[in-house]
Structure 1
Amino acid sequence: MKVFALLLALMVALPAAAEPTPAEVQKIMQRDFHPRGQATMERLAQDGVQRVCTETRDRPPAEVTKALEADQMKTITYPQGSLMGDWKRGETIAQSGRGLTWNDKAGEAGGGSCYNCHELSPQEFSHGTIGPSLRGFGKTRGAGADLQRYVYGKIYNAKAYNLCSQMPRLGLSGTLTPEQIKDLVALLLDPASPVNQ
């Protein structure tokens, strides 16, 4: 019985011991990342929110999460007027992975790469699954002003709504312009969009 208990304890402890610490992961990334073009070493520097999520394995205490999400919410800037653009342009942005890679020109309009993580339309059979399916998003939720504001904000800075979200802060980082974000809002909410068919 003692041998069984010892083996069980080892089976539980060994995988945990083999997992690298956040500091070790940072060292590995700094060793293996090669700066090129606009992809500089600065990309590896975590901001305060990212450090909290890394150090707590994406499970910070509730009071820390609440305070940091409130801080992140303050970073969202909403444009004047309608928050819905053109869903057709939004579809192009969702499909595009351009922007901020070493061989892209600095200042060029980027893409959202939305399909890398989300299912959006039934016509798209190749999509990622890190993020939730957004198929039928507007069809099931509507397209009211509050929802438009939520979707715009979530795309602009996802960490305002889910602190340790894997979704990039596409507006805050400058990856997407306000107009591009409005086009993505339309892609998700416009009844004519392929997302809602």
Structure 2
Amino acid sequence: MDERTVVAISAGLNQPSSSRMLTDRLAEATVAELEARGTRPTVETVELRDVAHDVVNMMLTGFSAGRLTEVLEKVAGADGLIAVSPLFSATYSGLFKSFVDILDRESLAGMPVLLGATGGTPRHSLALEHAMRPLFTYLRADVATTAVFAATDDWAGQGDEPSPLPTRIRRAGRELAEMVADRQSGGPADLYADVPSFDQMLGNL
């Protein structure tokens, strides 16, 4: 049985947090789908709040230290990534963006990534598409079509109506599992390998 590793990043600031709760649900859905495909998955969950000081220090010095070094290595070596952030002012948190900023610019190239976000109301859900997805597309990640937003009311449903959140989570987990499985069976390491960078295009000017 093949072994695959998925790293799940939660940028929740509280403990416990709804972001961590969504991260765990997405990881569980992905694991279930990978196991159904005959793969033995391992999930490494990272709470960014635990390495927040090291993230800031690396931004100032350019060097990683402590547990952050291990976290960066896990991300770079993963077969897939789940990235979840709380939303503030209709965008990802500062901690989430700071962590993405210190990643090696090539570490996410071609990597299957599932995006998730949490917020107080559904009004902020579009931040997944206008803020988070472009960020990971810029890093040349292979971003799953389904991104999952969880508002406060989604965890309990509304009145007699069941919450649609579990269905979205299962669909997103299935998509990420399929992408990870395709990559392990010889999918491209970098979907954008043949696309020249701006530096290359400007090199002859």
Shorter chain as denominator, the TM-score bin is under 0.3
TM-score (norm 2): 0.24
Q: In terms of Rg, which structure is larger?
A: 1
Structure with more of its chain in strand, by fraction: 2
TM-score normalized with structure 1 length: 0.25
